[in-house]
Amino acid sequence: MMESFWRVLLLQDHNTRVVIAGACLFGAAAGLAGTFLLLRKRSLLGDTLGHATLPGITLAFLLAGTFGISPRSFLWLALGATISGVAGMGAVLLIRKTSRLKDDAALAIVLSVFFGAGIAMLSAIQQLPGGQAAGLERLIYGNPASMTSGDAWFVLLASLLVAGVCGFLFKEFTLLCFDESYALTAGWPVRPLDALLMGLVVLVTIVGLQTVGILLVVALLVIPPAAARFWSDDLRAMALVSAGAGGLSSLVGVVASALLPGLPTGALIVLSAALFFGLSLLAGKKRGLVIRHLLEREAGRRLRREHVLRAIFECAEDGQQVVTLEQVLAKRPWKKNELRSEISQLTDNGLLTTEPTGASFQLNGRGDSEARRLVRNHRLWEIYLLNHADVAPSRVDRDADLIEHVLDQRLVDELEDLLDEKGRERLVPGNPEKKL
């Protein structure tokens, strides 16, 4: 087992080298083109496209003899696949234009009808004498091991083309995907650009037939960019991560299938892409579940701290400087031990002076100005929301708590000017930084 692993990984066979290079290049190209496909919200069109290639492939297979071409020639079959894939996309557009059907219905109709036609022709071929249909199955389920070096050159050229076009037209594609109507009014040829982008997707699909097959090719167009989105908020970085993820998934899939000979390579490639997706969903730097959970917990902690400070300030406002735990407890529905730990935390941070028993405490200089700032912001919002926005008064307190965390100081100053003098005098404590 270890021995064969190293054999595969160190690329000791010529054949392995070809297969791995071809599969990785395809994965990277799919990840790149797929980024724009995903952002253009056309993922399902990629799926329909894959399925719609089948009748073209079978037809090309049947007609090969007539033209004197070997029915196993990949380029010949790819030509058939391209024609019927493009015809499938045309059918989607036609249905959309001539009827009031929604996109999803149009896509489902074309996918099933084209695939059905392909399956019918495929069984007809399988009943022909000679059992030649074996060559076709590798295109349905994908079998990169059957890749010849000629096929690998085709994959290389196609991938370079996809990378080149995406690189040169990066900003044009970005604009197309983000805001089509603005692109049109600014004078960009939106329709040709769109056609070019879809052309790249067709090319990737055709290249992918041999690697992952008709049924699964959409996976490599969609999963890598979807996973990459968890890692970056920047399209450039996302496209690179997506291309890398596509290439890596293909590599892992091919190596795994070399070690587990019974399993189809296409499926293993898709599964390794899914593994990467799962990992990104969890650990993604920008939107992963873990980082989101941590950020939310941090925000919750800050919110609780601010609540405690405000409650103490409000208690002190009623008269005495020293505030007891019971007084603060009565302010809000919080748990006693939660409040206790928050208060000892605030004491450690030097905002509170607490009695050794922890039963009573008072804001010290730093704590007082911090609490003053919080209360001021909060009340500003309260007045603002009550006077200027159609927010139900019962929700003001909760929303104000959230909003003051996103509010910057300049906006606070603007708000202050908006509020009438009377309200400010009565309700808003002076800005500690301004020394009003």
Please choose, out of 8-16, 170-178, 203-211, 349-357, the segment that lies near other proteins by the rule CB under 8 A.
170-178
Smallest separation (angstroms) from other proteins to the CB of 436? 22
In the bound complex, what is the minimum distance in angstroms from residue 209's beta carbon to other proteins? 30
Contact between 314 and other proteins (CB under 8 A)? Answer: no
Q: Which two tokens stand for residue 297?
A: 């917990």
Tokens 């909060």 belong to residue? 378
Decide if residue 43 touches other proteins (CB under 8 A). Answer: no
List the end-to-end C-alpha distance of the chain, in Å, as a whole number: 78
Residue given tokens 């952002």 in the structure block: 39
- With CA atoms as reference, report the closest residue to 198 among 162, 151, 160: 162
- Edge-to-edge order in the sheet of strand 323-324: 323-324, 360-363, 352-354
Choose, by CB under 8 A, the member of 406, 425, 434, 435 that binds other proteins: 406
> How many angstroms separate the CA atoms of 232 and 22, rounded?
27
Q: Check residue 227 for interaction with other proteins (CB under 8 A).
A: no
Decide if residue 186 touches other proteins (CB under 8 A): yes
**CB nearer to other proteins: pick between 236 and 332:** 236
* Minimum distance from residue 420 beta carbon to other proteins (Å): 14
Kindly state the smallest distance separating residue 182's Cβ from other proteins, in Å: 6
Q: Does 234 bind other proteins (CB under 8 A)?
A: yes
Name residues whose C-beta falls within 8 Å of residue 115's C-beta, 6 or more positions apart in sequence. 51, 52, 54
Residue 361's beta-bridge partner residues? 323, 354
Site string for other proteins, 376-395 (x = CB under 8 A): ------------x-------
Instruction: Give the interface segment with other proteins, choosing from 71-79, 106-114, 227-235, 261-269 (CB under 8 A).
Output: 227-235
Specify the residue, 74 or 381, whose C-beta has the smaller distance to other proteins: 381
Q: Nearest approach, Cβ of 315 to other proteins (angstroms)? A: 33
- HSE-up of residue 401 (Cα within 13 Å, Cβ side): 17
Using only C-alpha atoms, the chain has a radius of gyration, in whole angstroms, of 32
Task: Tell the smallest beta-carbon distance from residue 240 to other proteins (Å).
Answer: 12
Question: From the list 238, 251, 339, 428, which residue makes contact with other proteins (rule: CB under 8 A)?
Answer: 238
- Binds other proteins by CB under 8 A, chosen from 10, 160, 184, 289: 184
| Residue 171 within binding range of other proteins, rule CB under 8 A | yes
Q: Does 87 bind other proteins (CB under 8 A)?
A: no
Q: How many Cβ atoms are within 10 Å of 239's Cβ, its own excluded?
A: 26
Report the site for other proteins in 89-128 (rule: CB under 8 A): 100
Whether the Cβ atoms of residue 140 and residue 216 lie closer than 8 Å to each other = no
CB of 184 to other proteins, least distance (A): 6
161 belongs to the binding site for other proteins (CB under 8 A): no
Under the binding rule (CB under 8 A), the answer on residue 416 touching other proteins is no
Print burial letters for 87-117: b (CB count within 10 Å at least 16), e (below 16): ebbebbeebeeeeeeeeeebbeebbeebbeb
- Written as one string, the DSSP assignment of 165-200 is HHHHTHHHHHHHHH-HHHHHHTT--HHHHHHHHHHH
Check binding of 298 to other proteins (CB under 8 A).
no
Which helix (H) or strand (E) is 352 found in, with range? strand 352-354
Comparing CB distances to other proteins, the nearer of 366 and 388 is 388
DSSP one-letter string for 232-300: -SSHHHHHHHHHHHHHHHHHHHHHHHHHSTTS-HHHHHHHHHHHHHHHHHHH-TTT-HHHHHHHHHHHH
Candidate segments 65-73, 277-285, 320-328, 410-418, binder of other proteins by CB under 8 A? 410-418
Q: Which has the closest alpha carbon to 37: 181, 228, 266?
A: 228
- Based on the shown chain and the rule CB under 8 A, indicate whether residue 153 belongs to the binding site for other proteins: no
Nearest approach in angstroms of CB 287 to other proteins is 10
Residue 332, phi then psi, degrees to nearest 5: -140, 155
Residues that bind other proteins (CB under 8 A): 39, 41, 100, 168-172, 174-175, 177-179, 181-182, 184-188, 229, 232-235, 238, 388, 406, 408, 411, 414, 418
